[in-house]
Amino acid sequence: MKLLHVQSLALEAVKVVRLARFPDDRGYFAENYRVSDFQRLEGLEFLGGSRVLQCNESFSRPGTIRGLHFQWNPFQGKLVRTVFGRMVDMVLDIRLTSPTFGKIICYDLPEDRAAAYQEWIWVPPGFAHGTFFPEESLIEYFCTGEYSPGCEAGISPLAPDLDWSLCAPALQQLFESISAASPAMSPKDRAGCSLTQWARDERSAHFVAGRL
């Protein structure tokens, strides 16, 4: 596995990891994940020795919105990438007492088979995660905690009290255009709580800045 670059986003704990592809006249080869490299390579210290315990795949049709999801007991960090299509990743800070609590960012992750690299986005515990899709897409995500159905919750990405001030305006506008056009959403996601409701929920005490 060849690490090219690690980028911090506007929510500093959220990272983009760029890995090399090795192209030739047949196509390319890429080593997407090697546990020893993720634990030892300089630049990946933010992972804190996290191990991948679960791998998920999700296919979405154009106009789909998913999220914003999170869980505790166990906490779950996610490494997410686009296999094909175009995913726009959404990350919301839900850490009580964090100076960026309630702020949401987006990162555009289109798949480009001609590129000499591919990217993962790292969403650590303490952040709600969602995605939306302008086109038919397949994504893969590695999780550092196994799914715990009794310890999960969600905030609606349509909630009016999210703070989009750190989000790239073009991606916010793209989200608004998709959300205004009868997006495909699960009933569970559509019924997600607002940020204010979550902050008043006693379960929000699981997510406090400095304790995760």
Q: Is 129 annotated in the active site?
A: no
pLDDT at 210 over 80: no
pLDDT > 90: percent of the chain: 87
Write down the catalytic residue from 5, 28, 33, 69.
69
What average pLDDT does the segment 5-22 reach? 96
Contact 92, 85 (CB under 8 A): no
pLDDT at 114 over 80: yes
Predicted confidence at residue 40, as pLDDT, reads 85
Within-domain flag for 212? no
Predicted confidence at residue 165, as pLDDT, reads 98
Give the residue ranges of DSSP H helices in the chain: 35-40, 169-179, 187-190, 195-200
Within-domain flag for 32? yes
Q: Helices (H) and strands (E) in the chain — how many of each?
A: 4, 13
Give the whole-angstrom CA distance, residue 170 versus residue 189. 23
Predicted confidence at residue 39, as pLDDT, reads 84
Closest by CA to 44, choosing from 75, 8, 11, is: 8
Write down the catalytic residue from 107, 129, 141, 206.
141
- The number of folded domains in the chain is 1
Ranges of beta strands (E only) in 9-145 are: 15-20, 22-24, 27-29, 54-60, 64-71, 78-84, 86-93, 104-110, 117-123, 127-133, 137-143
Backbone phi, then psi, for 49, in 5-degree steps? 75, 15
Task: Grade residue 66 by pLDDT with cuts at 50, 70 and 90.
Answer: very high
Give the whole-angstrom CA distance, residue 84 versus residue 185. 20
Predicted confidence at residue 38, as pLDDT, reads 85
Within-domain flag for 211? no
Predicted confidence at residue 50, as pLDDT, reads 87
Q: Is 69 annotated in the active site?
A: yes
Domain that holds residue 17: 3-206
pLDDT tens digits, 148-197: 989 999 999 999 999 999 999 999 999 999 999 989 999 999 999 999 99
Within-domain flag for 197? yes
Within-domain flag for 171? yes
Give the whole-angstrom CA distance, residue 98 versus residue 101. 5
DSSP 188: H
Contact 118, 45 (CB under 8 A): no
Residue 121 sits in a domain whose CATH number is: 2.60.120.10
